[in-house]
Amino acid sequence: MKKSKKSIIKLEPSVKEHIWGGTKLKEKYDKKSNNKIISETWELSAHKDGPSIIASGKYKGVKFNEYISIMGHEILGSKSERYTDLPILIKFIDTADDLSVQVHPDDEYALKYEKDYGKNEIWYVVDCESDSYLYCGFSKDISKDEIRQRISDGTLLEVLNKVPVFKGQNIFIKTGTVHAIGKGLLICEIQQSSNVTYRLFDYNRIDKNGEKRPLHIDKALDVIDCKKFEIDQINKDEPTTAEKSLDYQKLIECEYFSVERYSIQDHIELYGKKDSFISIVVTEGEGSIYAEGEKLDFKSTDCFLIPAGESKIEIIGKCTFLKVHL
């Protein structure tokens, strides 16, 4: 069977509702949901727990994992050959309340016990309230016995680093690092394609069914890094507010993903390669994207995939976006 021409595609997210979610993604960014609250939108996802949907072109309405099967795994590029599926998941997170204190396992542990990948992730702060914060790592070396005791007596937050945040900040969360996102944040998260989270503490909250959400203390302690987290590694340099024709920053380049931030006032040309697909995630502004002879308009929080291959990508508009690839 002859495969269709590879082309740029716009994606529609899989929408998630959690106890801590807010209303910004629905009311401000026009994400579709029958629920009032949206906690997460999985913008680029082939994960079984929430594949995104093709929103443009011939395959509009098709689940993204099915689209990959139709078009062939080569659209993801040669760097993805060691994976059976798309190895990256991109989401937006809207926090009207604090997330649980949690940790993610590495690949070895997750594949053995969860039949899923581990979860390294990077957060990019799209927007935040003036007093927003998050927790990242322990403020001292700590024993697992002390962690258990502090979970029991409700004092776990006392030994975590509380980090004030600002718009445009990025923070890499390595597997094993205890963390919690605070309320009042809109975050773009780029992560390994995984849905494995181990909760240590959830503020004794009651969900809509009148139940406390389950904790995963034993598994969390199996994978947690008990050493003091070096807070100096967190980026504290606020992006410039000056209007330059191009403001560029490489946020991270690791074995799991690479993320670059671009802020443009007019237009920019980027170039695709055979070794990886490119995802463009718009975090602010509006405009148009041209690739493979096609034009698609965009607004903030839109997400696109350009298949692997030699190609020119032109982005026109006044906007900030993240370029994500392997």
Return the active site residues.
199
Please indicate if the annotation marks 18 as binding a ligand.
no
DSSP, residue by residue, 288-324: EEEETTEEEEEETT-EEEE-SSSEEEEEEEEEEEEEE
Distance CA 155, CA 143 (A): 14
Please indicate if the annotation marks 121 as binding a ligand.
yes
Distance CA 173, CA 53 (A): 27
Neighbours of 84 (CB within 10 A): 9
Please indicate if the annotation marks 253 as binding a ligand.
no
Of 94, 88, 85, which Cα lies nearest the Cα of 119? 88
Residue with tokens 């994400």: 31
Neighbours of 314 (CB within 10 A): 13
> Tokens at residue 62, please?
């098709």
Q: What does residue 246 show for φ and ψ, rounded to 5 degrees?
A: -145, 125
CA 175 to chain centre: 14
Binding residues for Zn(2+): 104, 121, 179
